[in-house]
Structure 1
Amino acid sequence: MGPLFSGSLAEALANASAFLQQEGQNPGLVQSAWLDFKDWTLNDLVNHLQEPCQTFAWPDFCRVLEGLSQGQPLQYLLGRANFRGTWYQVSLATLIPREETGGLIDLAIKFFGDSAPTQILDIGTGTGILAIELAKVFPQAQVVASDISEEALKIARVNAETMAIHVDFFLSDVCKTVPKKKYQLIVSNPPYIALDELDLMDPSVINYEPHLALFADQEGLAIYQKLAQELPAFIDKQGLILLEIGFRQGQKVAAIFKEAFPQAEITIHKDFYDKDRFVQIKI
């Protein structure tokens, strides 16, 4: 790779930024990468800027820099990603958690208020972030989570065990092998990207994140159609279904679920970028 930079931490970070720029990557990645690498705050960084960089496992960070120079996502290089203030293990078998996905949890909290669901199902759990965070919010609930990828489930199990959170994980294509009972809350962040949207995506997502968890047929709607077919047998008569969607899919997903649940109250909610991101189905 490039040189093993020396000098103070401030000098090394400046050299690292120049190295990324030379390699055609965003030099601004260096500071955020270093903060995540060390799990530091900005105050921590300021307090250590004049110390020798070799004090801080700098050769290990240089290996991260090499990956960044090739366009690899930082989270895969570190093997972890932060979601709602908690570090989750990730691998190439899992999507990198996005903060906007936390909107599903916020909607669940708002809906249930002082009450709480006793049975929760997370379909397409990936790293397990939704199942685990919902288990934290609703500690009395029994939480079930499924994924079609055994490799993703291995990561989800590690995350739950690391946080001492109990979740029952199942290898399943949508609801095929999950316990058949009535759930008060069902959440899902399924694959929803259409193949014709490739030009809208960052190359690092296309090149590194698992396509099984990204893309779906039928203009990205195939998994929603399958969910709409299967969920009537699993949702409680006063339950709530929460789905993450692509920003152009709100009306189409709402229509799919209105056909499956004619009496349901269906609403579309935006993320913090003011884009349609969630569909809520109140049975």
Structure 2
Amino acid sequence: MHERSPRALSKDCGLPRLEVSMLWQHLLGVSRTWLVAHDDKAVSEQAAADFAALAARRRNGEPMAYLLGEREFMGHRFAVGPGVLIPRPDTEVLVETGLACIADQANPTVIDLGTGSGAIAISIALARPDAHVTATDYSDAALKIARDNAHSLQARVEFVQGDWYQAVPADARFDLILSNPPYIAQGDHHLSEGDLRFEPSSALTDGADGLQALAILAAGAKQRLKPGGQIWLEHGWDQAEAVRALLSQAGLRNPSSRRDLAGIERISGASL
């Protein structure tokens, strides 16, 4: 066995076997099956050095999604980077609920506010090619990643830069409003743990009680929804009651919440 083989180079790297395999598959552009069959074959000096660098970053806690440059969401692979939130399975309930809302509508208008990597908007557009989907973000860097994802996945989405509803014309109205805004309270210990340490703080916390962006989105929905339209917002594990109250105070009807796979009330919404 060559001392520069994946097997030898991985022996004392200090990472779980699955993560090691994922890093090598990424670096070599091969499948897991190929890697298992050829992990005793020598790799180039550059590949060995690249693996050592990635392994060191992972040992430091950097998310695998950033190291690999992608994350799967709703069955699609999205490019991600330090400028955007990493798409999570919890957020799929937001997309699934949104799709159910427009299931019986032809050519629905949908907006995803604070799109990040574009995962929500693009997933909607791919599932409903007849929909007119708009995605906004305040960050130019995030919008570049989102546009690239839409291009690579061949999704038809209109991207605009701006702060929440201000990004679109005042007379724009939508059948469906979706958002996964920053909702973690400033000082929450989760911000200094795990992957969150490396993700953009502006996508995680509002710098206050975690309800500031949610309040803005709820308050502005009535002026932005078409008759019968719906808004659905992702929020924290303990914020469902507060978000339902915000939606009710905004003059919207039938506020309710939906649970994620862990049984946590993950999103709340209401209709005009």
| TM score, norm. by length of structure 2 | 0.87
The equivalent residue for 2:182 is: 191
1:163-187 residue CA offsets vs partner (Å, 9 max, x unmatched): 2222111111110131332211110
Tell me how far 1:124 sits from its aligned partner. Answer: 0.3
The equivalent residue for 2:3 is: 6
Give the AA of the match of 2:143.
L
| TM score, norm. by length of structure 1 | 0.84
**TM alignment of 1:113-152, pairs within 5 A:** 113-116=103-106, 118-152=108-142
Give the AA of the match of 1:12.
L
Give the AA of the match of 2:10.
L
SS in 2 for 1:220: coil
Aligned residues: 270
Higher mean alpha-carbon deviation, 184-193 vs 231-240, is at 231-240
The equivalent residue for 2:100 is: 110
The equivalent residue for 1:62 is: 52
Counterpart CA distance in 1 for 2:34 and 2:264 is 34
The equivalent residue for 2:165 is: 175
Counterpart CA distance in 2 for 1:38 and 1:188 is 36
SS in 2 for 1:241: strand
Give the AA of the match of 1:176.
Q
The equivalent residue for 1:272 is: 261
1:180-224 residue CA offsets vs partner (Å, 9 max, x unmatched): 322111100000000132257524412x21111110144200011
SS in 1 for 2:249: helix
SS in 1 for 2:67: helix
Counterpart CA distance in 1 for 2:167 and 2:271 is 24
Counterpart CA distance in 2 for 1:210 and 1:101 is 17
1:85-136 residue CA offsets vs partner (Å, 9 max, x unmatched): 3222222211111122111111123333344452110000011111111100
Does structure 1 residue 212 correspond to structure 2 residue 209? no
Change (3 A) 1:109 1:204: closer
Give the AA of the match of 2:255.
I
SS in 2 for 1:219: coil
The equivalent residue for 2:62 is: 72
Counterpart CA distance in 2 for 1:135 and 1:55 is 43
The equivalent residue for 1:95 is: 85
Give the AA of the match of 1:113.
A
Counterpart CA distance in 1 for 2:110 and 2:93 is 16
